[in-house]
Structure 1
Amino acid sequence: MNVLGVGRSSFRTAVAALRNTQTSRALATTARPYVPPASLEHVAPPRPRRSRIKTKPESSAFFTGRAGYYDSIDSLESAIHHSQRALKNLHLLPLPAFAKEALPPLQTVWKTKEDMSELLSAKLTTSRYRRVTGLLGQLNDHRRVADVGGYAELSSGLSSVLETFERDNKDAVLARGIRKPVKFDEYGRSYTVGKRKESAARVWIIPVKQRAAPAPTETQAASPDFGTVDPISIDSDPTAAVSMTEVLVNGMPLAKCFPLPADRERIIRPFRLTGLLGAYNVFAIVRGGGTTGQSGAVAHGIAKGLAAHVPDIELILKRSKLIRRDPRMVERKKTGLAKARKRYAWVKR
Structure 2
Amino acid sequence: MSDNDTVQSLSDLKDLTGDAPEATETPNEPQQPAAPLRDQELDAQGRAYATGRRKDAVARVWLKPGSGKITVNGRDQEVYFARPTLRLVIAQPFQVAGRAGQYDVVCTVTGGGLSGQAGAVKHGIAQALSKYEPALRSAVKAAGFLTRDSRVVERKKYGRAKARRSFQFSKR
| 1:326 partnered with 2:160 | no
Q: Which residue of 1 aligns with 2:80?
A: 257
Give the 3-state SS of the residue equivalent to 1:205 in structure 2: strand
- Find the partner of 2:50 among 192, 195, 202: 192
Q: Which residue of 1 aligns with 2:163?
A: 340
Q: Is 2:42–2:132's contact at 8 Å kept on the other side of the alignment?
A: no
- Name which one, 1 or 2, has greater alpha-carbon Rg: 1
Aligned length: 136
Q: Is 2:40–2:134's contact at 8 Å kept on the other side of the alignment?
A: no
Q: Is 2:59–2:109's contact at 8 Å kept on the other side of the alignment?
A: yes
Q: Which residue of 2 aligns with 1:279?
A: 102
Give the 3-state SS of the residue equivalent to 1:265 in structure 2: helix
Instruction: Extract unaligned runs of 5+ from structure 2.
Output: 1-16, 18-37
Select the structure that is richer in helix.
1
Q: Is 1:182–1:191's contact at 8 Å kept on the other side of the alignment?
A: no
Map 1:1-349 to 2 at 5 A.
Answer: 183-208=41-66, 244-342=67-165
What is the CA–CA distance in structure 2 between the aligned matches of 1:284 and 1:181, rounded to whole Å?
A: 23
What is the CA–CA distance in structure 1 between the aligned matches of 2:51 and 2:120, rounded to whole Å?
A: 8
What is the CA–CA distance in structure 1 between the aligned matches of 2:88 and 2:166, rounded to whole Å?
A: 32
What is the CA–CA distance in structure 2 between the aligned matches of 1:304 and 1:341, rounded to whole Å?
A: 35
Distance 1:345 1:256, change over 3 A: farther
What is the CA–CA distance in structure 2 between the aligned matches of 1:316 and 1:344, rounded to whole Å?
A: 48
Instruction: Extract unaligned runs of 5+ from structure 1.
Output: 1-95, 97-179, 209-243
Select the structure that is richer in strand.
2
What is the CA–CA distance in structure 2 between the aligned matches of 1:270 and 1:324, rounded to whole Å?
A: 12
Q: Is 1:182–1:192's contact at 8 Å kept on the other side of the alignment?
A: no
Q: Deviations over 1:296-320 (max 9, x none)?
A: 2211110011112222221122122
Residue identity over aligned pairs, in percent, reads 41
Q: Which residue of 1 aligns with 2:20?
A: none
Please report how far the alpha carbon of residue 280 of structure 1 lies from its aligned counterpart in structure 2 after TM superposition. 0.5
Q: Deviations over 1:155-205 (max 9, x none)?
A: xxxxxxxxxxxxxxxxxxxxxxxxx96631354311111222222211111
